[in-house]
């Protein structure tokens, strides 16, 4: 599929104009960054795995009625998506305290939260994605009204419920994750849909038994075996086969997905 002009290049992805108005092509790179770009590297094969893992999760979410930007995967590194205006807020859902939550508040690492906690960060690299309150989101109209913000919150919790079950079934604890949402017009109506990606780059995933980290913390904390951890997640989700490693990964044809606007 022919790509149009580059619309945006982020740390791990590039978005190009799509073949039709209102569509775009999302390309997954192998670049890894952490600590607001202070740590950078290339992890060979990461983009391919994230493309497949995110496709798998977003397709499943679509099936349970959560609208996402994914239309279909195109190839090893690219997806056809609906073009959205990204809401400049990162929605972070936490089930277990770790990462910035423990640093900020001195909560013991690994504390199981009594219910999922949603936090908000303003998406702004220059400011280091600062933590914000719901009031900031409404005051600065990053989300247009409280009804829309409540809708996003409810969607975050539904996604958490679904993903916790999905990962628990393959022996993985969903510790926390980051979601992004965008606004698009479907059938003449403005809608908020899930955008970006869900992958080991955007989630914390721990093995249920050993608590081994199977996510981007392996890069952030120099734990090594990054790609093996991502492959392990893909294998457990049944996306790649038991014996595959990244050089032999053979992905089937992308699943046909109805691209009729939802």
* Contact call for residue 99 and ligand 5GP (CB under 6 A): yes
* Among positions 176, 182, 231, 234, the unique one binding ligand 5GP when judged by CB under 6 A: 176
Closest CA to 45 of 172, 188, 218, 226: 226
* Contact call for residue 216 and ligand 5GP (CB under 6 A): yes
* Contact call for residue 213 and ligand 5GP (CB under 6 A): no
* Contact call for residue 67 and ligand 5GP (CB under 6 A): no
* Among positions 92, 152, 163, 193, the unique one binding ligand 5GP when judged by CB under 6 A: 92
E strand or H helix at 63, and its extent?
Answer: helix 46-63
Separation of alpha carbons 58 and 259, rounded Å: 14
Closest CA to 194 of 32, 114, 86: 86
* Among positions 55, 78, 180, 201, the unique one binding ligand 5GP when judged by CB under 6 A: 201
| Nearer to ligand 5GP (CB atom), residue 117 or residue 170 | 117
Q: What is the DSSP letter of 254?
A: P
Separation of alpha carbons 15 and 27, rounded Å: 6
Please give the structure tokens belonging to residue 191.
Answer: 């809608």
HSE value, Cβ hemisphere, 13 Å, CA-based, for 41: 16
* Contact call for residue 205 and ligand 5GP (CB under 6 A): no
Separation of alpha carbons 129 and 246, rounded Å: 32
Please give the structure tokens belonging to residue 71.
Answer: 């239309």
* Contact call for residue 164 and ligand 5GP (CB under 6 A): no
Provide, rounded to whole angstroms, the least separation between the CB of residue 34 and ligand 5GP.
8
Q: Which of residues 115-144 bind ligand 5GP (CB under 6 A)?
A: 129
Provide, rounded to whole angstroms, the least separation between the CB of residue 90 and ligand 5GP.
5
Separation of alpha carbons 68 and 237, rounded Å: 20
Which one of the spans 23-31, 40-48, 176-184, 222-230 is the region binding ligand 5GP (CB under 6 A)? 176-184
Which one of the spans 37-45, 58-66, 92-100, 186-194 is the region binding ligand 5GP (CB under 6 A)? 92-100
Provide, rounded to whole angstroms, the least separation between the CB of residue 189 and ligand 5GP.
30
* Among positions 18, 25, 67, 90, the unique one binding ligand 5GP when judged by CB under 6 A: 90
* Contact call for residue 178 and ligand 5GP (CB under 6 A): yes
Provide, rounded to whole angstroms, the least separation between the CB of residue 8 and ligand 5GP.
15
Beta strands in the chain (DSSP E): 6-9, 13-17, 23-28, 31-34, 39-42, 70-73, 78-82, 85-86, 89-96, 112-122, 131-132, 172-186, 189-195, 203-207
Provide, rounded to whole angstroms, the least separation between the CB of residue 210 and ligand 5GP.
19
| Nearer to ligand 5GP (CB atom), residue 184 or residue 202 | 202
Q: Which residues of 77-90 are buried (b: 16+ CB within 10 A; e: fewer)?
A: bbbbbbbbeebebb
List interacting residues with ligand 5GP (CB under 6 A): 90, 92, 99-101, 129, 176-178, 201-204, 216
């Amino acid at each position: 599929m022919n790509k149009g002009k580059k619309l945006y290049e982020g740390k791990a992805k590039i978005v190009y104009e799509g073949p039709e108005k209102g569509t775009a092509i999302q390309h997954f790179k192998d670049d890894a960054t952490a600590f607001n770009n202070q740590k950078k590297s290339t992890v060979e094969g990461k983009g391919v795995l994230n493309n497949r893992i995110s496709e798998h999760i977003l397709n499943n979410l679509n099936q349970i009625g959560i609208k996402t930007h994914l239309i279909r995967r195109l190839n090893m590194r690219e997806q056809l998506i609906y073009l959205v205006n990204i809401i400049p807020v990162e929605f972070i859902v936490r089930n277990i305290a770790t990462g910035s939550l423990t640093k900020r508040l001195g909560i013991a690492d690994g504390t199981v939260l009594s219910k999922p906690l949603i936090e908000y960060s303003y998406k702004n690299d220059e400011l280091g994605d600062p933590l914000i309150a719901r009031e900031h989101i409404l005051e600065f109209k990053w989300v247009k009204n409280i009804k829309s913000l409540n809708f996003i919150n409810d969607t975050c919790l539904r996604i958490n419920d679904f993903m916790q079950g999905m990962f628990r079934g393959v022996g993985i604890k969903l510790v926390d994750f980051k979601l992004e949402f965008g606004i698009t017009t479907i059938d003449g109506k403005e809608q908020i849909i899930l955008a970006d990606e869900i992958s080991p780059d955007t989630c914390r995933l721990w093995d249920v038994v050993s608590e081994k980290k199977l996510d981007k913390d392996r890069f952030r904390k120099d734990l090594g075996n990054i790609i093996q951890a991502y492959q392990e997640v893909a294998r457990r989700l049944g996306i790649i086969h038991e014996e595959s490693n990244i050089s032999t990964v053979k992905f089937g044809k992308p699943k046909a997905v109805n691209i009729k606007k939802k």
